[in-house]
Structure 1
Amino acid sequence: MKDRSHITLYSGGHKGAESEFGRLAEAWGIQEVNFSFEGHVTERSRGIRELDASELEKGNVSMEIVSARMGRKFTRGNKIRKVIQTIFHMVNNGYHVIAVGWIQPDDTVKGGTGWGVELARLFNRPVHVYDQDRKGWFAWENNTWVAQVPSIEKDTFAGTGTRNLTEDGKKALRDLFENAFGPA
């Protein structure tokens, strides 16, 4: 069993995959940091780190760039901008990005989760996505998605994903923790 006292999950604490990552981290005694901002409601309260305006600004990027990179329109609304900015902090702090969602035909991942995956790819970080339709794990390697089950091997990782977590998605995350750390 791996010593877990120095391992940290970086997430957002939202309903669905991020909350499940947090529950699992807590059950396995792993540190948890959930980035948020003033007025934002999260499901997880453990490890909340509310980013102030200057910290959010460090993750600022043009919404046109986000839209172009993701191949779809994102609104210019202030809340989505802040969510995008918090995702930067998750990925910037967590070495390995692990997500749950849906890989689309253009190789992006659906929704806001996709921005975390795009940042991981831009930062040349290891990234794995559990695709809930295909019921399997995929890694981004050599500019393509390949079937590959992740393992948590570094001291930091970012956990993100869909609000619409399926039972298969939950099981995939639980298996990830059990394979990495043994029983809770």
Structure 2
Amino acid sequence: MNVYDCTLYHGGLKGAETAFGENAEKYSVGEVIFTFAGHRLNRDRNTVTLSEEELQRGDISMELASRMMNRTYYETEKIRRVLQTIFHMVNRGHQVFVVGTILDDNSVKGGTGWAVELAKLFNRPLHVYDQQRRHWFTWKEGGWQEDSPKISYTTFVGSGTRYLSDDGLAAINQLFADSFGE
């Protein structure tokens, strides 16, 4: 796989997404940041501001999103826009990498969990670095299995917590080093 053929998709927020973007830049991986009007980004290289029509393509009922993630999402415009934006990231990226916390119900904590649920729904290769357990896990056969993943597809998503730990940052750095070499 040629690094110059690869593209990272993310949302440009602080924490994990910024770290994924910085690594993409370091290794000369293409980078596309999806956003919407009025959304503040921490990283803003190669941004694609989704139009109202494009956002609607990623729309989902908040009731369904709440049920899929075993938590309650209320009808707020910003949350809806974030979920719609995540749809575009996962729809474009074939492999999905997330940094966060895997919960007992196999979902992932926070809004990041929506990227995880969409990856499961779209049958994408899915990997989560659990900051609590300090290890990567891959979704296989309906459950999480410890793994040491590599970026294996030319399009991939990098998402995760805004509260990136030192271990989480090291995991992202190592993922890129293992996948693209020092």
TM range (shorter): over 0.9
The two structures have a TM-score, normalised by structure 2, of: 0.99
Structure 1 stretches of at least 4 aligned residues deviating more than 3 Å after TM superposition: none
Q: Percent identity?
A: 50
Q: Deviations over 1:127-176 (max 9, x none)?
A: 00000000000011000100011111110000100000000000000000
Per the alignment, residue 13 of structure 1 pairs with 12
Per the alignment, residue 58 of structure 1 pairs with 57
Partner SS state of residue 118, structure 1: helix
Per the alignment, residue 165 of structure 2 pairs with 166
> What code does the residue aligned with 1:33 have?
V
Per the alignment, residue 104 of structure 1 pairs with 103
- The Cα shift of 1:66 comes to 0.3
Partner SS state of residue 15, structure 1: coil
Q: Deviations over 1:107-134 (max 9, x none)?
A: 0000011000000000111100000000
- The Cα shift of 1:3 comes to 2.4
Is 1:133 aligned with 2:132? yes
The two structures have a TM-score, normalised by structure 1, of: 0.98
Unaligned residue ranges in structure 1 (runs of 5+): none
Aligned equivalents of 2:164 and 2:42: distance in 1? 14
Aligned equivalents of 1:40 and 1:170: distance in 2? 24
RMSD: 0.6
- 1:18-33 maps to which residues of 2 (within 5 A)? 18-33=17-32
Per the alignment, residue 43 of structure 1 pairs with 42
Is 1:82 aligned with 2:81? yes
Q: Deviations over 1:11-56 (max 9, x none)?
A: 0010100010000001111110000000000111111110000000
Residue-pair matches, total: 182
Aligned equivalents of 1:98 and 1:142: distance in 2? 17
Unaligned residue ranges in structure 2 (runs of 5+): none
> What code does the residue aligned with 1:38 have?
A
Aligned equivalents of 1:87 and 1:106: distance in 2? 21
> What code does the residue aligned with 1:170 have?
L
> What code does the residue aligned with 1:127 have?
L
> What code does the residue aligned with 2:164 have?
L
Partner SS state of residue 45, structure 1: coil
Aligned equivalents of 2:148 and 2:66: distance in 1? 29
